[in-house]
Amino acid sequence: MGPKRGRYANLVPSSRGGNSQALQLYEKFLTPENEVRFQQIVGVKFNGERGFIIDKLQEYPEILEELERRKWLKLNGLIKKTNATIALEFYANAYGRNDYVSYVRGKMIDYSAEAINSLLELEAPVQCGVAKRRGDSVPSTEQWWEHLNFLCREGAWFSGGREGLPQRISTTQMKPIPKVWATFFNRTLESASNTSELIVPRIHGVLAILARDEIDVGRLISHSIKKLSRSGGTVYGHACIINALCERESVPKEGNDIPTNCIAAFTANIIRGLPTGPVEDQRPAEAAPVQMEPHQPQVPEIPPQYQCTPFELAVGEWLQDISHHLYARAPRFSEPIQRAIRDFGQQQSHLDVYHRFGSWEGLQNYIQQQRARATEREEYLQSEFRKQEKQYLEETAQAAHMFPGLFHPGGGSNGQ
């Protein structure tokens, strides 16, 4: 159903029937709720997309060849100064919808993966390398270190939350070429509110680019737009792609539309100026070793097997937590490791909950999922209890029948 005419209407020239002077009436918003949404987001900033100036990249043929091989030149050509007002109206009317369709000034705008790939003249691969990497099992500690050494300069370090798991790296610590692709991924393929960091899901994205994995660009951008349309954040993105989709549907522009700029495109001069040397070590400072007098006995070192990494301590803490929630037998650790896990869990962390969920909506979704899981677990335990109670009573009744006078079965619970 199209929008009803009302106080949101504008008059714009229509080219229908060749009459450029004819007037066409359109609504700005599908519903009053969408208008409210527009008022909520009208002050947001746009995370400008960033591309490349092709004729100024001759010093970096590996970047040029990758853009050409992946057929990303059309995408790169769309990154330019664009219309912020159209993008905001798009996001306002996409709010509350379950499909990948929005509405802008009388036009329904399809922003599905298929529509975006069509716009960019790209074919969707059978499997997206980014999605595959994100869905694979969690890398081991050794694999994370390999990724860090591959992407970053000497001295770089992962940042993590209370769990001790790698969560992000600073893009300022990255090697030049990985940093270029990280910026492109953070601003163009997906839109990150904080482009100075590369969180784990986007680390997988950069690794996929550098490994020459096939990538479904339409899927990445489409899902990123959907996520932004639902968010309560203050930074939005993909204004260039949204305007290109609207332009393809002949969405009219208005005289009071506000522009938004993209970020200065990469050139050889910019890439050449990126740092290449070691970075300051970001690991937590360790206590200085105690200086011993020659006659003093040396303090024995803690055996290496107890010097657990934060990742290993986080796994131990997680095993304890999950066994508690599932009413399962807790894992057994030696006393030194148990003490290390306990001390690790008491450490204070900075913004670990915020970085874990990213938004209030993400936290609420997690809470709902936890409640649903708790209900499922409760139903499972009750069902298993009744089933096993019945089995126990049947077995004991059979034993009592076979050995009368020697076995007296006890009463069972009614399962309430």
Tokens, residue 272: 């050449």
Q: How far apart are CA 92 and CA 258, in angstroms?
A: 16
Report the distance separating Cα 288 and Cα 211, nearest Å.
41
Whether the model clears a pTM of 0.85, i.e. scores above it, the answer is no
d(CA 232, CA 214): 32
What's the CA gap between 392 and 398, in Å, rounded? 10
| Distances, alpha carbon 296 to alpha carbons 287, 293, 302, 345, in Å | 20, 5, 18, 35
3-state secondary structure 115-149: HHHHHHCCCCCCCCHHHHHHHCCCCCHHHHHHHHH
pLDDT in tens, the chain (416 residues): 455 443 344 544 434 344 443 455 788 999 999 999 999 999 889 999 999 999 999 999 999 999 999 999 999 999 999 999 999 999 999 999 999 999 999 999 999 999 999 999 999 999 999 999 998 877 777 888 889 899 999 988 887 654 556 778 889 999 999 999 999 999 999 998 888 888 889 999 999 999 999 999 999 999 999 999 998 888 899 999 999 999 999 999 998 999 999 899 999 999 999 999 998 764 554 433 333 334 444 444 444 444 666 667 777 777 766 766 665 666 777 777 777 777 766 664 545 666 666 677 777 777 877 787 778 878 888 888 888 888 888 877 776 666 666 555 544 444 44
Q: Please name every residue paired with 235 in a beta bridge, in sequence order, or none if there are none.
A: 45
